[in-house]
Amino acid sequence: MTVDIIPPASQRRWWKESTVYQIYPASFNDHADSGHGTLPGIIERVPYLQELGVDIIWLSPIYESPQADMGYDISDYQKIDPRYGTLEDWDNLRDACHERGMKLVMDLVVNHSSNEHAWFKESRSSKTNPKRDWYYWRKGSINEKGERVPPNNWEAMWGGSTWEYDEESDEYYLHLFAKQQPDLNWLNPEVREAVYKMMRWWLDRGADGFRMDVINFIDKAPGFPDAPTTNPYTVYQPFGPLSVGRPGVHTHLKEMHEKVLKDYDCFCVGECPGGDDPEAFAQYSKPENNELQMVFNFHHLGFDRARTSTIGRGWNPDWKLSDFKQVVNTWHVDLPKEGGWMSNYVDNHDQPRLLSRIGSDHPDHRARSAQAVAVFHTTLTGTIFVFQGQENGQINMPHSWGEEEYKDIESVEIFEGERERLKREGATQAEIDERIKWVLGNLRETARDNGRTPMQWDSSEHAGFSKGQPWMRVHDDYKQWNVKSQENDKQSVWSFWQAMLALRKKHLAIIYGKFIPLDESSEENYTYIREDEDTGEKLLVVLNLARGPDRTGLPIKVDLASMGVDTSNAQLIIANDGAEVGSGISGPLDLDNWGARVYLLQQGRAVLN
């Protein structure tokens, strides 16, 4: 009789062992000719996702929206935007997932709504309207120059004040993001109950949970005090802990659990920007706290960012692998120690492609470096989140593309903000042009647009994404890099991703085990052990992430003995460099450019539950 080598039943949860696949609906698949992704288009691809190894589909917002921020400005939480389809289409997608044993997760955007939402329209209509206090309204002041001044100096996420003046009522409303995204007042119990009612409506309809947008922004500092000056180049200052990760967030999430989530076997992950440490982040996902299953942190994705004097999407080309490893290692060691559960992602709709950041876009090295990134991503701790296009090696937008190809509100605001600032300062047109060229160079590496180019399905016109003109330009390389050209190629990036997702489910030490980093100061290799102390299973991951000229990579030698690793029983279980599966380790490993290997160091034993 074969006994599965598994951790104790008390540890296991379906959402821990699942592969979550994030779909950015506008760019995934258009079933017709609108040039914009649709729900029927997603339904067409559900069998594809099942074949890849996906368990949970997470949809970025598809609700009714004016689309000021690609649907993160919601005007009706219980309607589907016509661009995507209808509620009946959503029901059909739900059924297509559930029939295959897959789950469907919605995006929950409730720190703010659209200014076109009926709630805000009522709130704005009169100071005496019952919904006036559903949003934050405050009086401004007049300074010594006779100028109207907002209630405080907080800087919105994409520049300018967080306060927008409303002439009719002579008051300002708060918006931490764009002015079209007014913040909901979570101190008002009527607001919270309206949100909970909406959540129950979706869960009762068959949704399997939520990804919660900037959920740790929902509690604001009493009195809205000024933020300290951390950037002397701007009038407005980052609000930071005055509206990020405050104690009231946990109070609200506990109430949400009690009033909604505890009644459903659902999956909830919160997006939590901010600089807090693993101990603080663990509080969201500790089971005894009754809040969420996990949250996204952002610490590991700032490794190649440079905060400039005026733009928040600056790029640092001189980043070090050791710095990147230090952040990743800290979180994958410390958060589990604190009782939290990791959400494991490297790409999403707000990030450039990690393949273009730590891998190589070079045609001769792209496939292998994409496979190395796949090994890295899939062998990290916690639940895994794959973003559309990772599985077929999609990369950042081409450097040859001009400013006009950048569609994201943040990118547009950066370009416009820099032009306005330079004009105020009296810059010449030549100086403005030179600065915009510099801005474009930074955004080519860091912009959110990089992850939003349409999915590349095949080599037909528009990469098989749509029969119409796509809302956003398809990457120039789609004829060579697409799903169809890779699905039946056993050596492709796609096939390698499929194998890694299956491997993850077979070797549960990757999911439940300790993360033990090795050779942390190396600028060439990334090496670590995954060990399940309950079953004894132990795996070794060795990655060559050495960067050569033009990001082509370099061959390296890795001396595992010097790291104190016992490799006497090592057996190779997967590699991207042609090494023979089942082979062992004798002496230092020679890894070619972007080589990646996973070895089984110790077999697990059965655990009686």
List active site positions.
Answer: 213, 271
User: Do 61 and 71 contact (CB within 8 A), yes or no?
Assistant: yes
Beta strand spans in 178-252 (E): 209-212, 237-238
Nearest residue to 43 via CA among 97, 99, 86: 97
Under the phi-then-psi rule, with left for phi > 0, alpha for psi from -120 to 50, and beta for the rest, what region is 587?
A: left
Sign of torsion over alpha carbons 579, 582, 588, 594: positive
* Cβ-count burial 237-252 (b if 16+ within 10 Å, e if not): bbbbebbbbbeebbeb
Residues 167, 308: Cα–Cα separation, whole Å = 34
3-state SS assignment for residue 315: strand
User: Do 150 and 224 contact (CB within 8 A), yes or no?
Assistant: no
Beta-carbon contacts of residue 265 (< 8 Å; ≥ 6 apart): none
- Rounded to a whole number of angstroms, the distance between the first and last alpha carbons of the chain is 17
Report the 10 Å Cβ neighbour count for 377. Answer: 20
Residues 258, 263: Cα–Cα separation, whole Å = 8
Residues 60, 44: Cα–Cα separation, whole Å = 17
φ, ψ at 404 (rounded to 5°): -65, -15
Residues 478, 156: Cα–Cα separation, whole Å = 36
Residues 362, 294: Cα–Cα separation, whole Å = 35
Residues 444, 398: Cα–Cα separation, whole Å = 8
Residues 605, 609: Cα–Cα separation, whole Å = 13
User: Do 171 and 139 contact (CB within 8 A), yes or no?
Assistant: yes
φ, ψ at 30 (rounded to 5°): -100, 120
Sign of torsion over alpha carbons 193, 197, 202, 203: positive
- The helix or strand, by DSSP H or E, that contains position 182, with its residue range, turns out to be none
3-state SS assignment for residue 162: coil
Instruction: Compute the C-alpha angle 505/23/291, nearest 5°.
Output: 70
Residues 84, 609: Cα–Cα separation, whole Å = 46
HEC secondary structure over 2-13: CCCCCCCCCCCC
